[in-house]
Chains A and B, each alone.
Chain A
Amino acid sequence: MVTNAPSRHSAIAHDDTDGERFIETLYPWRRRLWIQQLLNWTENGVIIGIICVCFLLLISRFIPWANVSYWAFGIAIVFLLCAIGAALRYRPSFARSAHVIDTQLALHDRLSTAWELRDNSAPISVLQRRDALGQLSKHTPATTISLRPGRIRLLSFGIAAIVLVWLLLIPNPMNAVLQQQAVFQARLNRQIAAINQARAVIYNQTAISAQERAVIDKILRDALAHLQQSSSEEQAQQILAQAQSKLNQLRDPQASQKAQARANASSALQNSSNANLSNAGKALATGDNKVLDSSLQNLASQLNNMTPAQRAQLAQQIERAANEAQNNPQLSSALHQLAKAVADGKSGEVSDATKTLESAAAQDSANQATSDSIDQASQFLQNAANALASSTDSSNGQNSSQSQTPGQGQNPGQTKASGQGQGISGQNNTNNSSGKNEQVFVPGQVGSGTSNISVDGSTGTVQSGKPVPYSQVIAQYSQMAHDAINNSNIPPDLKNLIQDYFNSLEGRQ
């Protein structure tokens, strides 16, 4: 039978050095674990960073992303730094080190318990610490805690690196789209600069009132603001068309008729045998109010020396001119008044009539100046739209040139537009390209007057007229239709019907 030996706990109860020795022994293990953690986390950061880079590069193959490289590089660096920082910040504690070593060496929680009871002086705790130290002394940190990366980590790194290299080497299909966007942006910037210059030109015109200048300038300014935010050519064309529509709303609907009437009246006056009246007709035609004033003064002074028959003949000529100017009521009325005053031969009436005619001519000139400014602004916008469209044509031509005869539309050429867009007999350029980049063009018929747009390509071909984008045409037609409906006697229900029709067209563009 075994008997219990007397307890010897008194010999070891106050052995405080064991606890300190235990901590000292654990130090190198903890340092080694920290280095291992630093390496592991850094490797994880690199792997995760590469995976994120791959992900971003993959996204950039489906969505145009100009500066994806900077983002990818930045994110990779951030992940790496975060991993290193976290590894440095959260270094393993003694308790965790003890637990990890317990697990790795299968020490059955000896170290964890010893660490927790490091200050306990009970005999069995001292024995436990000694046992833990004894077990730990059989191993070394270098042989137990490996700093080599694990197989799974190496495999993950290899796969991620291969995918990254593949993504970097294989051309990105979105690069072409990005190039097109860059080209478009450059063109847009050029056109924005041109419109800005136009703004300055129009703003410095003194022939029109300040209020009208401000209105035109606001329209151009708004258009510029929207253009700077536009991301596609269709959008830019739409903005330009809308600006043109707004400018057109500023026009006097009867301006052309009035101009024609004025021209007819001036022509009729120029045909007169009376030199003063003929000069007045010329001045009316050129809008030279000073010459008109002097001519009418001369005519008034001449009347005193004329016979009634001569005055009647002169009055008839003026009356004829008044009739020719019937589409310009103010001018026509002034001419009628002048004809009556000439026929009566009263100097006071003649003086009043000449003043009225000068006033009407001046008003007419002002209206004409306003109309010219609007035309000028509209023309600037039209030029910008044409420039954008022609560049797109050339780029589309470049895109489709692989299947076309060489030399057709490969260079953007020079676009020269003149007139006011009337009668552009452009051919229906469907631009055989199919797919998302297809743009529909229709023969342009913008504004009034005459136009002549020629495109000089490198091949020397000259096209008569220029197709206008459908979006621009439909916007203009919509505005014209809106104006026409509002200015006509169409019943309200039919107005709605017609407006619905144009709205439906807008929805399909």
Chain B
Amino acid sequence: MANKRESTSPVTGVKTANEAKLEDLKTQSGDDVAISDMQAETEQPGEADIKTFMEIVQQLEDELCSIVVGQERVIRELLLALFSGGHVLLEGVPGLGKTLLVRTLSEVLELKFARIQFTPDLMPADIVGTTIVTDQSDHNTAGSRRIFSFQPGPIFANIVLADEVNRATPKTQSALLEGMQEHTVSVGDATRPLPRPFFVLATQNPLEMEGTYPLPEAQLDRFLLKVLVQFPKAKDLMRIIDTTVGLQTIQAKQVASGEQLMHLIETARAVPVATHVKEYAVRLLLATHPDQEDAPESVRKYVRYGASPRGLQALIMTSKVRALLEGRYNVSLEDLQYVAFPSLRHRIILNFDGLADGVTPEDLIEAIIEETSTS
């Protein structure tokens, strides 16, 4: 697939309206990236930025918790990924509020939201868009002519809910790959940038359920976090009854814009990380590899492949956000231990023995945290 940034249609030589918008976006986005890179070297977030960050995050968390009941940890992990600029894979049985959570998030953030319901017959073009033939009026001839125009798919949104992503075939699942990593979509011979911010929040059903296709490791690795949605407790179920089945339904209010969100992401990136914390993160990551000397015995026995360097980036980035969420200006070892579970659980590939013995990645991460030296 060509990766040229060609804005003119090769067939008609005329830009479509959508393409023109996308071109503007692309140009603006490219300039923004260059500027923001320069600013990253010169500008540092100040006390007010940090305060703003904490306020927004607190409001966001409160709004989400008021709508989605009994999933505080899920919401916290979702926010970690959101302010880290990463994608999230939500896993849980149907009916736990995964879709509600994502929809609510888009509402409180004033972002363009698109939902894709993945089914076995869903095609990649249904996600990324396709080129269609349309009639266009020609002012010179006062007639019309047929041109090819690109019809963007639902992936061209700020928040994309890939609902039940593992119900589609691997071919369709892979349509998300480029967008998730490069924030661009290549269709035909043109590469089109995705709007910023861009988040993919995918939900998936447990793999044991019928009619599911496991996500490829390459795609799993592109999700910053994998969040497990647990069944609510009894008291949370009572609250669900009160808030959802009554006459009054709670409406989420908008908390921040996409631009603010981008700024908050930059703010979180500035949180300092001490050397010993970085070293601990590296030790944690290396301990997931069975061929490493410091790996626990259970990892050696049950793990086929350990986490990639993306896992390390996920550990550090989400730890920075968690530190700010906890009211600190530095990353601690406890932050790393907290985020290790959602950051690494989908990056640890079990071998046959691990699958046969019913070992879960969580068990292994727990063993890794327990056996990895903190100093």
Show the binding face of A for B, using Cβ within 8 Å: 1-13, 99, 108-110, 112-114, 116-117, 120, 122-125, 127-128, 131-132
Q: Which residues of A contact B333 (CB under 8 A)?
A: 108-109
Q: A4-B49, A123-B46 are in contact. Are A117 and B276 (CB under 8 A)?
A: no
Which residue of B is nearest A10, CB measured?
B46
Closest CB of chain B to A248's CB: distance in Å?
Answer: 73
Q: Mark B249-284, 1 if CB is under 8 A from A, else 0.
A: 000001111001001000000111111110000000
B46 touches A8 (CB 8 A): yes
Q: Mark B343-361, 1 if CB is under 8 A from A, else 0.
A: 0000000000000000000
Q: A4-B52, A5-B52 are in contact. Are A108 and B332 (CB under 8 A)?
A: yes
Interchain CA distance A3-B51 in the complex, whole Å: 11
Q: Select the stretch in B65-73, B123-131, B132-140, B323-331 that faces chain A.
A: B323-331
Closest CB of chain B to A28's CB: distance in Å?
Answer: 22
A-B interface, 7 closest residue pairs, ranked by CB to CB distance from nearest: A9-B46, A108-B332, A128-B329, A113-B330, A5-B48, A7-B46, A109-B332
Q: Which residues of A contact B263 (CB under 8 A)?
A: 4
Indicate whether B375 reaches chain A with its CB closer than 8 angstroms: yes
Q: A2-B55, A2-B56 are in contact. Are A8 and B330 (CB under 8 A)?
A: no
Closest CB of chain A to B330's CB: distance in Å?
Answer: 4
Interchain CA distance A12-B275 in the complex, whole Å: 24
Q: Which residues of A contact B194 (CB under 8 A)?
A: none
Interchain CA distance A259-B55 in the complex, whole Å: 128
Indicate whether B45 reaches chain A with its CB closer than 8 angstroms: yes
Closest CB of chain B to A495's CB: distance in Å?
Answer: 70
A124 touches B270 (CB 8 A): yes
Indicate whether B244 reaches chain A with its CB closer than 8 angstroms: no
Q: What are 20 A-B contacts defined by CB distance under 8 Å?
A: A1-B256, A2-B52, A7-B44, A7-B49, A8-B47, A9-B46, A9-B47, A11-B46, A12-B47, A108-B326, A109-B330, A110-B330, A110-B332, A112-B274, A113-B277, A113-B330, A113-B331, A122-B270, A125-B329, A131-B328
Indicate whether B208 reaches chain A with its CB closer than 8 angstroms: no
Interchain CA distance A10-B335 in the complex, whole Å: 29
Other than A117-B274, A122-B44, give 18 A-B pairs with Cβ distance below 8 A: A2-B59, A4-B48, A4-B49, A5-B51, A5-B52, A7-B43, A13-B44, A108-B335, A109-B333, A112-B274, A113-B272, A113-B274, A117-B272, A120-B272, A123-B45, A123-B47, A124-B45, A131-B328
Closest CB of chain B to A129's CB: distance in Å?
Answer: 9
Count of B interface residues, CB-CB < 8 Å: 37
Closest CB of chain A to B265's CB: distance in Å?
Answer: 12
Indicate whether B334 reaches chain A with its CB closer than 8 angstroms: yes
Which has the most chain A C-beta neighbours within 10 Å: B270, B330, B331, B334?
Answer: B330
Which residue of A is nearest B276, CB measured?
A112
A125 touches B272 (CB 8 A): yes
Closest CB of chain A to B142's CB: distance in Å?
Answer: 48
Q: Which residues of B contact A9 (CB under 8 A)?
A: 43-47
**A-side interface mostly:** helix
Q: A12-B46, A108-B332, A114-B330 are in contact. Are A128 and B272 (CB under 8 A)?
A: yes
Interchain CA distance A166-B375 in the complex, whole Å: 42
Q: How many A-B residue pairs have CB under 8 A?
A: 104
Interchain CA distance A125-B45 in the complex, whole Å: 10
**B-side interface mostly:** loop
Q: Which residues of A contact B48 (CB under 8 A)?
A: 4-8
Which residue of B is nearest A112, CB measured?
B274
Indicate whether B317 reaches chain A with its CB closer than 8 angstroms: no
Closest CB of chain B to A33's CB: distance in Å?
Answer: 15
Closest CB of chain B to A106's CB: distance in Å?
Answer: 9
Q: Which residues of B contact A1 (CB under 8 A)?
A: 254-257
Q: Which residues of B contact A110 (CB under 8 A)?
A: 328, 330, 332
Q: Which residues of B contact A113 (CB under 8 A)?
A: 272-274, 277, 330-331
Indicate whether B180 reaches chain A with its CB closer than 8 angstroms: no
Closest CB of chain A to B360's CB: distance in Å?
Answer: 28
Q: Which residues of A contact B314 (CB under 8 A)?
A: none
Indicate whether B321 reaches chain A with its CB closer than 8 angstroms: no
Closest CB of chain B to A268's CB: distance in Å?
Answer: 103
Q: Which residues of A contact B155 (CB under 8 A)?
A: none
Q: Which residues of B contact A11 (CB under 8 A)?
A: 46
Which has the most chain B C-beta neighbours within 10 Å: A5, A124, A128, A131?
Answer: A124
Which of A99, A116, A131 is the one whose CB lies under 8 Å from B329?
A: A131
Interchain CA distance A492-B317 in the complex, whole Å: 98
B274 touches A127 (CB 8 A): no
Q: Mark B12-49, 1 if CB is under 8 A from A, else 0.
A: 00000000000000000000000000000001111111
Which residue of A is nearest B323, CB measured?
A108
Indicate whether B50 reaches chain A with its CB closer than 8 angstroms: yes
A127 touches B254 (CB 8 A): no
Interchain CA distance A2-B52 in the complex, whole Å: 7
Interchain CA distance A120-B276 in the complex, whole Å: 17
Q: Which residues of A contact B50 (CB under 8 A)?
A: 124, 127
Closest CB of chain B to A107's CB: distance in Å?
Answer: 8
- B280-336 interface with A by 8 A CB criterion: 326, 328-335
Q: A4-B52, A5-B52, A109-B332 are in contact. Are A116 and B45 (CB under 8 A)?
A: no
Closest CB of chain B to A96's CB: distance in Å?
Answer: 9
Q: Which residues of B contact A125 (CB under 8 A)?
A: 272, 329
Q: Which residues of A contact B59 (CB under 8 A)?
A: 2
Which of B255, B273, B276, B328 is the one whose CB lies under 8 Å from A108?
A: B328
A99 touches B334 (CB 8 A): no
Which residue of A is nearest B327, CB measured?
A131
B254 touches A128 (CB 8 A): no
Q: Which residues of B contact A6 (CB under 8 A)?
A: 48
Interchain CA distance A28-B298 in the complex, whole Å: 44
Which residue of A is nearest B51, CB measured?
A5
Interchain CA distance A113-B334 in the complex, whole Å: 14
Which has the most chain B C-beta neighbours within 10 Å: A7, A8, A99?
Answer: A7
Interchain CA distance A401-B271 in the complex, whole Å: 89
